[in-house]
A and B are shown apart, each in its own frame.
Chain A
Amino acid sequence: MSAATQTGARPAIRVRQLGHRFGSHEALKGVSFDVAPGEIFGFIGPNGAGKTTTIRVMTTLLEPTAGRVEIEGHDVSVDPEKVRRLIGYMPDHAGVYEQVTVREYLEFFADAYDVSEGGRDYATVDAVLELTDLAKLEDKLVVSMSKGMKQRLQLGRVLLHDPKVLILDEPASDLDPRARIEMRDLLVELRSMGKTIFLSSHILTELADVCTSVAILERGSLVVAGPIAEIAERLAAARAAPEDGERAARVDAPKRTLRLKVRGDLATVAGVLAGAGFVSKVGPGPAGSVHVAFTGGEPEVEEIVRRLVLADVGVLGVEPERSELERIFLEVTRGDLQ
């Protein structure tokens, strides 16, 4: 559960016991989570985990065979029209009309969303062009634009009716690094405007930088959900007091690797850390850094740094080789083929 549940505020998205079957295949099994207003919520899972099915239910395109989904308090199955006014959905690999200009494209959707005063006032289109930095390209044919710009145009489309909740399915897939960074910055800006953003992806680095909370889905079941720090704490607590055999096996103390930037050579660092029992390996890393493999959590990191400082080894930087989100993902999922 997320912050919304804890504070008692109405969640922007509320999913309860969501289930869906395609014939004999059970695509979703009792999925439940909340997304608090103003969050950037990462929805993670391997391909085929059920992410797109969940999103299609949330966007009213698919009625679930079991459970409920509410957007801003409106049931998606019962009030699809209201929900469609509240959400902006950008599907993965979605197409755009190619033989129209950027402005014509947005004006068409402004008319469809009925935010153009019957085609007389396109102030919303102007605002969206400014926000997405597409104003300079407004007369350009969509067919001649790059993938990154087309993705930006799609985002512009879903903002036309000023939705409270943005649901973005793999928004940065197929984008080059620059376009990814620009997309990430745009999402952060949208969050600062009060939008709730539900972001689905299987690229963890893409989510780690922007998400405040996550949910991890595997084989149609929710594995874990909540703020990233809170999940990490829960997992640490579970490691300390395993509830059952299976859970214990999945939450064994993780092996981690630190990337250290130090004033000194590899041999010195290895010598200093030789006495630390939780350190299993010290080796060379990229660009003159040192990799330290160890078992444990933050106290062990603190101990490594303390030992190096006491041994007069200048520590210039300490960073985990994997982000918190990547570690959580690897810890809670089985990684079976799906």
Chain B
Amino acid sequence: MREMRQAQRASRRPWILLALTLALSLGLCAIGGLAASEDANPAKVGSALFQVFFSISYAVVAIVGPAVAANGIAAEREGRTWEAVLLAGLDAPRLARGKFLAAYTTLSLYLVTLAPVGALSFLFGGVTATEVVLAFVLLFAIAALAVSFGLAVSSLLDNLRGALVGTLALATAIGPALYVFFGLVGGQLAHRQWPEVDRESPVWLPLALARADVDTTYLVGLVLVPAAVSLVGARFLYSVTVANLGGETDDRSTGLNRWMLFSTPAVLGVAVATTALATNQGDAAIFAMCGALAYGALMTLLFVREPLGPSRRVRVRWAREGASALTRALGPGLTSSARLVQLATLALVAALAATSCALVSDHPYAPVAQARVLFLAASGGAFLSFMIGLGHALRARGVAVWTTRGLVVVAALAASTAPWIVAAVACASAGGDKELLALGAPSPFYAFYMFDQVSMTQAPAWHAIGAGLGADVMWTVLGVALTAYGAGRAAARRRQAEAAEEPAEA
């Protein structure tokens, strides 16, 4: 409420709203005019206006939303009002929810102002009122995610300018990528599944929801999967925000670790559903496995922020509350979190590999499709194990969080590319001996080369497959060794820190 009052007194807001509405109205009139001059069919003009309006609105929401939210936390920190708010007894979850509501209300005001312009497309025809309403519902949902994203980035930074620039830069990079992936590519896939949706419809979900027949595919593909993806994303952003708002010695781990426990099965479910619904299940299984491995890499970069162990404050709270072993396992601690990430990601990869193999068993090329899934799972799982071990070891040695993340990413990039450079040079020096490409086996992308080594018509190229599996064993052993080293080092440093906590005088 306080933020609303402050915003209400800022004189520029009505002018921004007016300018935005006018610009969008004029833009739509121009597009409508152009569309009508080429094809006078009002239904086609209406459909074009619908796609254009909601695409532009998406862009506005994807950029304005994070920027509005970024202002929330960073401005408090920069203005030195943050400590007062914290000490007034407002905890991090309450603060995060308050900031979310304030920014979301502001953004909703923009969307409500745009509603009459959006309804123009319905007047022309080509889209129904239900489709327009569903598109607005989707827009409000995207707005909620955009605001959550802005808050999560803002919660990392201490100055307003940095938060605004950082949030806008990330939103400008990620927003179009998501539009291409979920809008343009998703639209093509949706058209294949539900022909009622036009082929070139980036805003396809409201059309599919309104036009497709309700069946299992509808419920899974149009309701459950989008809902799961949105919820997992929203919960992740919320957990990151809450963790960043807490003090260094507060329990900033439990929320994120709980999210991981909740999101891992959700990611598995989405991956399995995507594979099951796909027309080409072999390719879909590979695509889903890539998604699961990317999720594992994200988890790895996330857990390295963990402290060596729970602070005295957290330990005393656990003792008072009689915290269970599970609560403690999900709490702060570098080694416990590393184990959790290792367990969760490897279980996800294994479960997805097993499910995918079962799903493609009816495939005409089932053995090949299954081998490919297993190659990718083994290679990705082994390399993730190495990344987790490396992150664990670096942090246990006292390397800073962002430096550790940088080093892990650099190591991953180096391991991905360097073996291929060596293999290519060796292959070229040996007059194009392709067997030397097996030197690229340490690269996690070697799995894709292994795909070509199995087919239904030829005998497998065992030397290439053996090299790949050998590299997987190497990364796994390296990962386990680094994890063991990290655990020992973290335990020693932890003992040292706990000994220093006790005052000499009682």
A residues whose Cβ falls under 8 Å from a Cβ of B: 16-19, 30, 32, 59-68, 77-78, 80-81, 84-85, 87, 89, 91, 93-100, 104, 108-109, 112-114, 141, 154, 157
Contact = CB atoms under 8 A, between A and B. Distances in A.
Interface string B56-80: 0000000000000000000000011
B298 interface: no
Contacts of A30: 504
Given A63-B312, A67-B503, A95 B497 contact: no
B87 A104 contact: no
Nearest to B8: A99
A291 to B, nearest CB: 43
B247 A17 contact: no
A293 to B, nearest CB: 42
A108 B332 CA distance: 33
B87 A100 contact: no
23 contacts: A18-B503, A59-B83, A61-B83, A62-B247, A62-B248, A63-B247, A63-B249, A63-B311, A64-B501, A65-B501, A66-B500, A77-B316, A78-B312, A78-B316, A81-B89, A85-B89, A89-B84, A91-B80, A91-B84, A94-B81, A98-B6, A113-B88, A114-B89
Interface in B279-329: 311-313, 316
Contact of A112 (B89, B502, B504): B89
Contact of B500 (A65, A91, A98): A65
Contacts, number: 95
A114 B88 CA distance: 9
A63 B313 contact: yes
A67 B311 CA distance: 13
Contact of A61 (B79, B247, B311): B247
Given A16-B506, A89-B84, 5 more contacts: A61-B87, A77-B249, A84-B87, A97-B2, A114-B89
Given A61-B86, A62-B247, A65-B500, A97 B312 contact: no
Nearest to B506: A16
B90 interface: yes
A77 B430 CA distance: 66
B485 to A, nearest CB: 22
A201 B5 CA distance: 35
Interface in B230-285: 247-249
Interface of B: 1-2, 5-6, 9-10, 79-81, 83-90, 247-249, 311-313, 316, 497, 500-506
B89 A84 contact: yes
A19 B500 contact: yes
Contacts of A80: 313
A158 to B, nearest CB: 8
A89 B81 contact: no
Contacts of A154: 84
A17 B503 CA distance: 5
A66 B503 contact: yes
Contacts of B248: 62-63
A85 B87 CA distance: 8
Contacts of B502: 66
B204 to A, nearest CB: 42
A93 B83 CA distance: 12
Contacts of B88: 84, 109, 112-113
Contacts of A87: 87
A161 B86 CA distance: 14
B423 to A, nearest CB: 42
A67 B505 CA distance: 9
B90 A112 contact: yes
Contacts of A59: 83, 87
